[in-house]
Each structure stands twice: as structure tokens, then as C-alpha cells.
Chains A and B, each alone.
Chain A
Amino acid sequence: MVEVEQQSGTDRRVGLLVTCLVDLIRPSVGFAAVKLLEDAGCIVEVPRQTCCGQPAFNSGDRTTARALAEHVIAAFEPYDYVVTPSGSCGGMLKVHYPELFAGDADWLPRVERFCAKTFELVSFLVDVLNVTSVTARFSGTVTYHDACSGLRELGIRAQPRRLLAGVEGLDLAEMRDADVCCGFGGTFCVKYPDISNAIVAKKADHIAATGAGTLLAGDLGCLMNMAGKLQRAGHAVRARHVAEVLAGMSETPAIGEPRRAGTKAP
């Protein structure tokens, strides 16, 4: 359950853009997002989707990016809101989609309507639905990484910390340079693996230095990068999407942890 200052989420139809990484790698983040939205009174639906187009956009392939953007905008037109559990995809949808349609008078009104109703999950809960606290338990110390696009394109910094503060049993230990890039950068991490490694190695050290048992962030790409480095470096820090903890769904294995026998997705 979540507490809201007013019942503003009631009966709102939210289209969940689950993101291609969550869809493929870690569906439990998607179900955590659904739970948080439904607890806040939203009706959640998931239209058929692939990817927001950011990999093409950042690789200079505007044609593919634009085709995917058109599909996303059309698919999510029926909903009151579009919500995504990622600051990076959220930034693509809200900040960069208009760039793909610059000068296109036919599309721009649709794009503007789309951008106005699109939000990253945690900022949607706090800023739009006025959720003030969640009813979740988590015993242990966490540290929170501010993923770049959410932080600098969407202004997400206080919102996750505010909700985490209300999670029973949870302590937050801030890491040094929480607002510095983890070195993921989408295709950057495979185009320049050595540089990416140097950046994430530094990040892993800062995470480990907090002594926190769990790393949280709002972007699965960054989390996979940091979790993978922490594991390779032998640090016993588990990594989870912040939505899992806020939804009280942190009983599942953390990112890259073995699946226990009998564990099933909902």
C-alpha cells in the first residue's frame, strides 16, 4: 500500500513502458512498478512494445529512432499517463522525442501531448500522484546511485530518497560521488569497454566503501553494469532496482544472484 495526500491516482489509466531491459532481463522490476502504481490507485496496462529507440538515437540512426518513437507514441495514445521504471528511457521519451520530430507539424502536437503525460516511475509517484510514503519493509543498509539521465534530464534526486526514508527497517548510507556516471552509457560500455571498466571500477569502490549491503538505483542498465562489476570484483553487495524495495518485493534474488528453487515470478 502507498499513502497519498489525496486520492489522486484513482481510476487513472497508466500505460507502463516497461523498458526492453526489464522486459528481457528482470521482469520483477516491471511487476514492482505495477504494484506501486496499482497501490496508488492507477489502472495499469501494458501495450505491446519493444524499445523506446534510445540505442538507435544515440548511435546516430535517426530513421530507426523515429520509427520506434512513432510506434511508442501511437501505442500509448489511449492512456492518461505513460510511466517507465527508468530515468534513461524516461529522458528519451520526455526530452529527446521532440528532437526527432522537430519541424514536423503533423506529429508535433501528438508528441507534445505524449511528453506531457510521460514520467519516470518514482517521480510520477511523488510529483504527480503525491505519494508521500510506501508501506514496505527492508531490513538493512542501502546506498543509492543517481543515474545520469534521471538526475540531469528529469531532475530525479529527492524523490527516491523521500520514499526510501519511509521504508521500515531501511537505512540509507550515501556513497561518495553518487551523482557521477557509473560508466554504462548504453552502447558506450561495449564500444569502449576498457574506459567503461575504469569508470565502473571507481564506482564499485565508492559503493563498497559505504558498507551498505544493497545498491539501489532507478535504471536497470546502470544496475547491471554496477552489479556485474561488484560481483566480478568480489564485493558482497547486492543490487536491486529501487522499485523492488519500494514495492516490498525484495525477496526475489538480487540482480545476477542465483534463482532459488521454487522462486517464481508472480
Chain B
Amino acid sequence: MTAPLTSPRFKENARAALADAPLQQALKFVEVNFIARRREVADRLPEFDALRDAARDIKNHTLEHLDLYLEAYEERVRSAGGHVHFALTAEDARNIVLDICRKAGAKTVTKGKSMVSEEIGLNAFLAANGIAPIETDLGEYIIQIRGEMPSHIIAPAVHLTKEQVEADFRRVHTHLPPERSLVEPTTMLTEARNVLRERFLAADVGLTGANFLVAETGTSIIVTNEGNGDLTQTLPKVHIVLATIEKLVPTLEDAAQMLRVLARSATGQEMSVYTTFSTGPRRAGDPDGPAEYHVVILDNGRSAMLGGAFQDMLRCIRCGACMNHCPVYHAVGGHAYGWVYPGPMGAVLTPSLVGIDQAGHLPNASTFCGRCEAVCPVRIPLPRMMRAWREREFERHLSPASQRTGLAFWAFFVRRPRLYGAATAAAAFALGLLGAARGRFRRLPLAQGWTRHRDFPAPEGATFQAQWRRRTRPHP
């Protein structure tokens, strides 16, 4: 039981997404708002690019010494009275969480936003074991009542219009008067908060993700804009932090550096509204806090990325800037990618976690426009790594047969310059003649992918090289 995977049906998913009018409406928000806000806040900070370099270097350093920092972190958590559990696989992590919940006699678990929880399919697993997971982030709450996956790593319900959310609230919150106004997003937030308030108080276990784990102090850090994470981790008697190995940073100073690029890149805020540091369970004299503090550190394929072509991907701090700036994401949204992580970061990470044989479409569905790399706060070379996946796919003969045949046919000619010259001269002449009157083709037999949507220009006639060689001048 992990998150359901539809990445092999990416093309069908994309077609459905393109025909989904409310989705297309909702996606405009990403394209317009996220980009403008990031630009504005980055322009206001002259050292923003230098901070990005620093963030990259901090992550690279940590990954080079990850074993040491994991050990140091574990030691600090234990000395603060917390428990650290290492989980090699998604299944291990689910079972560890379930064990902790059972020992606590938990019937409900409130949850802060956690993509790792989505990755391991935790909600379905807990529910199947008689424990009700309750999402407390507004976006996560919305998609939970709709039975959907997040479509964006920081804005899980960004694929929905306000009208759709309003309809869901009226459908689910039947204890409230039907005539109440839900015109403003803030009124929906208030309504969700009122519903969730009791759940926060009743929950036996609170589970959050982590934006960073600090080796120096054994601290986990979360950033939120709604404060739901704080209630999730301070009210129940047990707090579980679910995180993956690459969340480590060495020191609090490093964490502070990372925080300076995170919110700016993500939402265009200088800081998120809440930045919460948790170190161990409630101490004597603390006004609040959990009696038990557990950290589940998941690998799930990540350690295999260390030292390889995809190590740089482990720098990712999950800000979402890459998808916010991606023309493909803008066109189809996050669900089309068919698993937990959409957009450019998903196109690199998903094949690492589920296999390129399952996720082959994702690194191919990119124009390599490079905008993702241009905005990445930790400078991950996303296009280059998508290309590395295409190379592995090609080497393993996983790319579609039609593409391979086309490429081989083309390669045969381009590697024989004289033959190529003759073949292209003939093709240019024939197509030029056929298309001269109109100047372009509305349909071409071998290029329907092109001509279904656009005209194809007729060649001018003779190739450049043929014309050039007719010029009366010496040439090599």
C-alpha cells in the first residue's frame, strides 16, 4: 500500500487535464501569483542569489557527510528524551507509525502537511487499521474530504477553484446551516478551523513532516501559514515527526540560512507565518508539548541516490518553485504526473523512487526550457537530470519503439554527411514544390503530432548548403 501510481498513463492524464475547464481556471493562479510574488521578494533582497549558493553548499556538505549528521542528530534527539526510528522502506515507516499509534491507544491522528506521508500512503494504511487520520492543513483537509492526492507540494488543493471547494464544504459540513456565506476563502478557513478545533483536542497522536532536521540540536523544524502544525504537535500526547534522510542540516545557523530561501522561493514570503522548532518531548516546566516525541527517518531509495547521477536531487527543500515556473505544470497541473511529486522535481525524483520503467514519461515531458533550474533555491540542475533519466531509458530500451526507430533512421543519415546532403536536398525540393503555393501544410503524413494543432512551413526549395555550394567562391 503506497500512493497509487498513474504515471504510466501520463499522456491520458494530461489530455484529461487539458480538457478540464475548472482545473485550467485554477492553474492560472499558479502561473500568475506564485511567479510574481517570488520575483518581487527576490528583487527586494540583493543577496538572494548568494543565499542560493550558500543553501546549495550547505546541502552538498550535509549530503557528503550524511552518515555523521544522521548519527549526531539521533544522539541529540535521544538526549532530549525523544525516540528516533530509522525506516528503510515505506512499509517499515508505516509499521513504525502504526506501532506508536497503537501503543498510545490512538483512535485519531491529526496531521500537519507531510508529503512523505503521501509518499508512503499513510492515510489509507492507518484507516485500514482502524485509526482515523485527520488532515489539518486547509489544502490537505480539502483534498482529504474529496479523496484526492495533493496536486502541488506546497499548495495541495491548488487544482481546485473556490466554487469547487465551497461545494465540498456544503456537502461535508452538513451540521452547519446551508445558507451560510462561504464567499471569501477566509470564511472557508474559519469554517474548517471550527470543525478541526475539536479534532485537535481529541487526537491522541499528532504527526507532522519536517522542513529541516538540525543535527546540532536534534531539532525538527516546520513552516506553515495556518498554525495547524503547532496545534498538531503540541496538543496530543504523542508527536511523530515523519521525515526523510535528506532533511538534515548541520546547525541552527544553517537552518536559518535555508529558511531565508525557502519561503521566498515557495510563496514569495520573507518568512512563513509560523516557523516552529521542536526538540524532544515536554520538559518539566514547559507550558505545553507532547509527552512522547518520535522521529521516523525514512530512506525509501534515497541512500541509493547518494554518490550517483541523481545525488543533487537530494538537495531539494520542497519549495515548489520549479513547478510554479514550469510551462508543462501550468498546462496539466500536478495530478497528471501520476504520483506524489509533480513538476520538474517530481520528474527527477519519481523515477528514483518508483523506477524509470514506471515513470518514464515524467522526465520526457519537459521542453528543457530551463526555467526550473533558473529559480531553484538550491540550484539543482533539473533539466540535466531529466536528460540523465532519458539516457537510462534509452540504454535500457524502455523508450517507445516508434521514437527509437525514428531516432535510428535520422541517426543513419546525419552520420553520413554526403548522403544526408543528397537526401535533404531531395526532401526540401519535393516539399518545397508541394507547398509552394500555400507556403505551408495543414497536414503531413509523418508529422500529425505537429499538424493536428499547427501548420508546418513548406521548405523554401533548395537547401542552404546546396545553394551555398553553387556560389562561385572557394570553400572546403
Contacts and interface: CB of A to CB of B under 8 A. Distances in A.
A199 B327 contact: yes
B371 A192 contact: no
A48 B465 contact: yes
B457 A255 contact: yes
Interface stretch (A54-62, A112-120, A125-133): A54-62
A143 interface: no
B14 A194 contact: yes
Contacts of A48: 417-418, 421, 465, 476
Given A64-B415, A228-B450, A195 B465 contact: no
Interface string B411-449: 101110110110010011000000011111010000101
Determine the main DSSP class of B at the interface with A.
helix
B463 A27 contact: yes
B399 interface: yes
Contacts of A198: 18, 331-332
Contacts of B366: 185, 188
A253 interface: yes
B368 A185 contact: yes
A18 B475 CA distance: 15
Interface string A44-75: 01111111010111111110100110010000
A123 to B, nearest CB: 17
A181 B391 contact: no
A227 B454 CA distance: 8
Nearest to A29: B464
B180 interface: no
A256 B457 contact: yes
Interface stretch (A161-169, A208-216, A257-265): A257-265
Contact of A24 (B389, B392, B436, B463): B463
A152 interface: yes
A172 interface: no
Given A49-B417, A224-B456, A148 B440 contact: no
A231 B454 contact: yes
Contacts of B368: 58, 148-149, 185-186, 188
Contacts of B453: 193-194, 196-197, 200-201, 228-229, 232
A83 to B, nearest CB: 14
A60 B392 CA distance: 7
A195 B14 contact: yes
A255 B374 CA distance: 31
A183 B442 CA distance: 19
B452 A265 contact: no
B393 A60 contact: yes
Nearest to B325: A180
B428 A232 contact: no
B454 A184 contact: no
A152 B461 contact: no
B64 interface: no
14 contacts: A22-B464, A26-B457, A26-B459, A31-B467, A60-B389, A60-B391, A181-B367, A184-B367, A188-B366, A188-B367, A195-B14, A227-B457, A259-B436, A265-B467
Interface of A: 18, 20, 22-28, 30-31, 45-51, 53, 55-62, 64, 67-68, 71, 78, 99, 148-149, 152-153, 180-181, 183-201, 224-225, 227-229, 231-232, 253, 255-259, 265-266
Given A56-B411, A183-B327, 10 more contacts: A18-B465, A24-B424, A30-B464, A31-B467, A48-B421, A50-B417, A62-B391, A153-B370, A185-B367, A199-B327
User: Which 5 pairs between the two chains have the least Cβ-Cβ distance?
Assistant: A185-B367, A228-B454, A60-B394, A60-B390, A27-B464
